[in-house]
Amino acid sequence: MSIEGKSLKIGDNINTDFIISGRYKFAITDIKELAKHIMEDIDPNFAQKIVPGSSILVAGNNFGMGSSREQAPLVIKESGIAAVLSMQFARIFFRNSFNIGLPLIETDTSKIDEGDRLQIDLDKGCVKNLTKGIDLAIKPLPKFMQDLLQEGGIMNYYRKYGELKI
């Protein structure tokens, strides 16, 4: 599986309230509408910077911490972000993301700047920073997790195969 796009860089310790503010938790139930408010407490214009299918969110350390709010990975995926790179993800956020088919990749993001062109190869275990001409190793994803991503999440996988092949 390969993903290519330009980086949108944010910092460390991005919690689920930064991804989607709690003030919208019950006020907006339509995920398409909710996605318009992604990261707005960090950058009010963040949603307008996303190029659906070819934007890669690049965070520092400890991305997705805080509550286990399922809307956080859902708005990232719905906004059109193709993948999220971080040095480390919060455990529940990590699992919620794979359940919906949102690729999360752990790597050293300090060598990636805003607007860098990236190519992620999950099969080879590498992120290429095409802008800087460097390769970054990634924490390998087991095949069954790649299969979940390929099918768009655990529910789609289960509908197609009827069981999880680990």
Structure confidence by residue, pLDDT tens digits, 14-28: 999 999 988 887 788
Is 93 inside any structural domain? yes
So what's the pLDDT on residue 69? 74
So what's the pLDDT on residue 151? 93
Q: Which pair of tokens denotes residue 84?
A: 């999220």
So what's the pLDDT on residue 164? 65
DSSP letter assigned to residue 113:
-
Q: What b/e string do you get for 44-81 counting C-beta neighbours within 10 Å, with b at 16 or more?
A: eebbeebeeeebbbbbbebbbbbbebebbbbbbbbbbb
Q: Which pair of tokens denotes residue 58?
A: 């690049």
Question: Across-strand partners of 143?
Answer: none
Reported in sequence order, the residue ranges of the chain that DSSP labels E, i.e. its strands, are: 2-9, 55-58, 81-86, 104-106, 117-121, 126-129, 134-137
Is 152 inside any structural domain? no
d(CA 85, CA 5): 12
Q: How many domains does the chain have?
A: 1
The model's pLDDT over 99-145, given as tens digits with 9 standing for 90+, comes to 999 999 999 999 999 999 999 999 889 999 999 999 999 977 888 88
Domain residues for 25? 2-139
So what's the pLDDT on residue 23? 86
So what's the pLDDT on residue 26? 77
Lowest mean pLDDT among 48-52, 54-58, 65-69, 127-131: 65-69
So what's the pLDDT on residue 143? 87
Mean pLDDT of the region 76-93: 96
Contact 105, 139 (CB under 8 A): yes
Is 37 inside any structural domain? yes
pTM for this prediction? 0.92
Is 156 inside any structural domain? no
pLDDT tops 70 at residue 166: no
Is 146 inside any structural domain? no
- Residue reference for tokens 């350390």: 61
Is 46 inside any structural domain? yes
The model's pLDDT over 25-49, given as tens digits with 9 standing for 90+, comes to 778 889 999 999 999 999 999 999 9
So what's the pLDDT on residue 110? 96
Handedness of CA 14, 19, 21, 22 (dihedral sign): negative
Q: What CATH number is associated with residue 108?
A: 3.20.19.10
Is 92 inside any structural domain? yes
Is 158 inside any structural domain? no
So what's the pLDDT on residue 99? 92
So what's the pLDDT on residue 162? 83
Contact 103, 120 (CB under 8 A): yes
